[in-house]
Structure 1
Amino acid sequence: MDFEFYSQTDTGRVRTNNEDSVALDERCAVAVLADGMGGYAAGEVASGMACDFIKAELGRWLTEAADSASDADVRRAMDICVDNANRAIFSAASSNPTYAGMGTTLVLGVFRSGRMLLGHIGDSRAYRWRGGVLQQVTKDHSLLQEQIDAGILTPEQAQFASNKNLVTRAVGVEDMVLLETHQHDLESGDVILLCSDGLSDMLPDARIAEVMAAHDSLPDMGAALVAAANEAGGRDNIAVVLVRAQGAAEPPARSWWPFRRLGGAG
């Protein structure tokens, strides 16, 4: 199974700086998207550090593991890479007053034949587009989602809530963070959308699906999603990553390991 990748970020219509970052390693089939937060420019630093660190470290591990790593091995490697990135960002924020309080959301995909290993922290999302149907495959780590889960708000009421951007989990804010990981099957023709809340807050899922259905090429689809978010107000930075699966799936490999945590053995 082969994968086609496309990414785009946009400042939006309100912000003057862009705190969203993306990183793609097409050779290793890795996609990373992060939405930073913090003081002036600090959000850009946090999201950029997360994307660059994870792309480099996970890409290096996948290159060494080749095709012999099991899915469990890859998920463990994802956990370790994110833990290392979290500690690097937390250390930078703790040692430099300019970066105090910075952090970032994260959504990370490793694409393998017939499946996707997906990890996320915060409210950056992943969707799967299959056969004309859009399905959200991540669940936000946010106060709003907790209120929905508790029955305090309905999903319809949540669309008009004022606390949409309060996340309950972020990279770099504390010395430890938990990456939520899941595995999802992929079929030929599936398109995976990773996005920051600058897209998902501006466009309801039905509108996202409408835009994706209107375009076949990933560059056209991505540009149209960004344009639609800006037309809807563009109140935040916008980041999208699109990944299309093509061809037949192959059976998964078995097991391969070694990996080093930052500052110690893995």
Structure 2
Amino acid sequence: MYSSIKLRFCCLSDVGKCRDNNEDNYIVGLVKSNEIDFYKINNPFTVQVQEFEINQNQSAVFGLADGMGGANAGEVASQIAMNTLELKVRELGKIPKSDNERVLFLQDIILKAHQNILKEAKHDASKKGMGTTAVLSALTTEGLTISWSGDSRFYALSPKSLDHKDHRLNLDRLSLISRDHSLVWDFVEDGEISAEEARVHHLSHVITQSLGSGTEKPNPESRICQISIGEKFLICSDGLNGMLQEAEIEEILMRNSSLNETLHELINKANEAGGYDNITLILIEIIDLVESIELNHGHSHIMATTASQPLGFQRKKRSKSNIFLLLGLIASIIYLSNFLVQNTKADIISKWNALIQDKKIIDTVVTKSMEDGLKDNSIESMTKVIEKDTYINKSENILDMPPIQSKLINKGNEIKQEDNLLIKPLKNSIVPRIIQSTNVDSLLDNQDSLKIDTSKKF
């Protein structure tokens, strides 16, 4: 999609006003042609502004985790998540290029980190019950991919020249690309409360999935985004959006200050509002794009999926020859319908076979109708006739996935509720179109009729 992408980024974390230690973690990985550099959280929890160019041989990954659990266990869980990201990137030595591969890569890291956290908790009883959220993103010349589990967020601030008309939560130019895996966000999506009411709700700390939960493994979701020059991306723990309204966050991001100044102002404002939690931020700005010659870049858009709903199944394009063949088949159906209703079973078989031998019609695949039976040894109707070796699509959107059940996780405290919550995965999976092969003789011998409906267009 792009031959090169120039960006700058900055990271900052703060313990807040009410916590004794920082259980958040972040990591940034710059994958170069001959090496991989990682920037990690440290004291004073900041990474100064860095610039980087992404091309065919270079890419970048960003990760943020908000830990939970007593006795410093939350810090351990979030660190394990970020370490897992680093190890998987170093192991592969690159970031996958295709959309589907990047989604699977990031979701696999989240699931692997979940297992690593459980393993550590099993070995050390003092860390039992620790967990973490995670937001991971990968940027290559093919675009931006994010995956997440929990209520840490990924925002996009669009440049003034763009007018987004997608399904993101639009707050003027600030868009929430992720969706919280939390009890109150389920209320928002059900239309029961507003996003602002959810922010200050007394159950806002209850999340519905995380890494490290001993009852249910996480079901990470993903987004694939196009990017634009001047666009900014903010990854944050809920210590920010729990303290500030989105309008306040947007106002600060829109100012023409440096990334470093922007992050410090966001953290200062969150602390002024109470600073009840750790605050961790990664800010990314796209400063230049060079598009590939064969592709034309338009407005940003997103595709959605969950761990149980991988991308990559796309409809094949019909060739012009296939279209002409289908038109010919339609004409064949109309022709057949004029004489089928007037002939006996034997006559129908004889004429059908004669037409095939004379190559006036093509060998076909016919779908059965199970509604009506044969009446008076004649055929009143027929189902669609579809060319056997032409376009038969094996996959289309959308299939409702089964709901996932997850235990309530009371973030920062012990689990106090045992009720199961319903998590609603996004609908972006595969619907198979099943076509049953048969022939005219077997259909006529069957007790079910063939339905003719020449008014249908397909």
For residues 204 and 7 of structure 1, do their structure 2 counterparts lie closer, same or farther at Cα, with a shift above 3 Å needed?
same
Go from structure 1 to structure 2 and tell me whether the alpha carbon gap of 1:156 and 1:244 turns closer, same or farther (over 3 Å shift).
closer
Q: Which of the residues 42, 63, 69 maps onto 2:73? A: 42
- Indicate the percent of aligned positions where both proteins have the same amino acid: 31
Q: Which amino acid aligns with 2:205?
A: N
Which is further off, 72-81 or 191-200? 72-81
- The answer as to whether partners of 2:85 and 2:109 remain within 8 angstroms in 1 is yes
* Residue 255 of structure 1: aligned partner: none
Which residue in the other structure is 1:158 paired with?
A: 198
**Higher radius of gyration, 1 or 2:** 2
Question: 2:207 aligns to what SS in structure 1?
Answer: coil
List alignment gaps of at least 5 residues for structure 1: 253-266
Match of 2:9 among 5, 22, 35: 5
Q: Is the CA contact 1:25–1:59 (under 8 Å) kept in the aligned structure 2?
A: no
Q: Distance in 1 between matches of 2:199 and 2:287?
A: 34
In the other structure, the counterpart of 1:101 is 129
Question: Is 1:72 matched with 2:83?
Answer: no
Q: Aligned partners of 2:209, 2:229: CA distance in 1, in Å?
A: 33
SS in 2 for 1:138: coil
Secondary structure of residue in 1 paired with 2:206: coil
Q: Cα distance 1:26–1:219, how it changes in 2: closer, same or farther (>3 A)?
A: farther
Structure 1 counterpart of 2:235, one-letter code: L
After superposition, give the CA deviation of every residue in 1:76-100 in whole Å (9 maximum; x if it has no partner): 1112222111100011112311110
Is 1:227 aligned to residue 258 of structure 2? no
| Paired residues of 1:32 and 1:107 also in contact (CA < 8 A) | yes
The answer on 1:19 being equivalent to 2:17 is: no
Q: Post-superposition shift, 1:114? A: 6.1
Q: Partners of 2:220 and 2:274 in 1: how far apart?
A: 31
Shift, 1:154, TM fit: 2.9
Deviates more, 1:51-60 or 1:35-44: 51-60
1:201 aligned onto 2:242: yes
DSSP-derived class of the 1:239 partner: strand
1:231–1:114 distance in 2 versus 1, CA, 3 Å: farther
Further displaced range: 204-213 or 110-119 = 110-119
User: Following TM superposition, by how much is the alpha carbon of 1:176 offset from its aligned partner in structure 2, in angstroms?
Assistant: 2.5
The 1-side partners of 2:142 and 2:258 are apart by 21
CA-CA distance at 1:249 after TM superposition:
4.4
Paired with 1:164 and 1:42, the residues of 2 have a C-alpha distance of: 21
Q: Does 1:127 align with 2:155?
A: yes
Deviation at 1:43, TM superposition (A): 0.3
Separation in 2 of the partners of 1:104 and 1:249?
A: 37
- Tell me how large the CA RMSD over aligned residues is: 1.8
Q: Displacement of 1:222 after TM fit?
A: 1.1
2:106 and 2:137 in contact (8 A); partners too: no
Between stretches 173-182 and 90-99, larger displacement belongs to 173-182
For the 8 Å contact 2:9–2:284, the answer to whether it is kept is yes
Structure 2 unaligned spans of 5+:
32-58, 161-172, 294-458
> Structure with the greater relative contact order (CA < 8 A, sep ≥ 6): 1 or 2?
1
Q: Distance in 1 between matches of 2:238 and 2:286?
A: 24
| Offset at residue 251 of structure 1 (A) | 4.6
Check conservation: 1:191, 1:245, Cα contact below 8 A. yes
CA contact under 8 A between 1:46 and 1:104: conserved in structure 2?
Answer: yes
Query: Is residue 58–residue 81 contact of structure 1 (8 Å, CA) maintained in 2?
Result: no
Q: Decide which of 74, 82, 88 is 1:51's aligned counterpart.
A: 82
- Corresponding position of 1:261: none
- Letter matched to residue 199 of structure 1: L
Give TM-score, length-normalised by structure 2.
Answer: 0.52
Q: CA deviation at 1:17?
A: 0.5
Q: For 2:89, give the aligned amino acid.
A: L
Measured after TM superposition, the shift of residue 64 of structure 1 is: 4.1
For residue 100 of structure 2, give the secondary structure of its aligned residue in structure 1. helix
SS of the residue 2:108 aligns to: helix
> How many pairs are equivalent?
249
* Aligned equivalent of 2:118, options 87, 90, 93: 90
The structure richer in helix per residue is: 1
What residue in structure 2 maps to residue 168 of structure 1?
A: 208
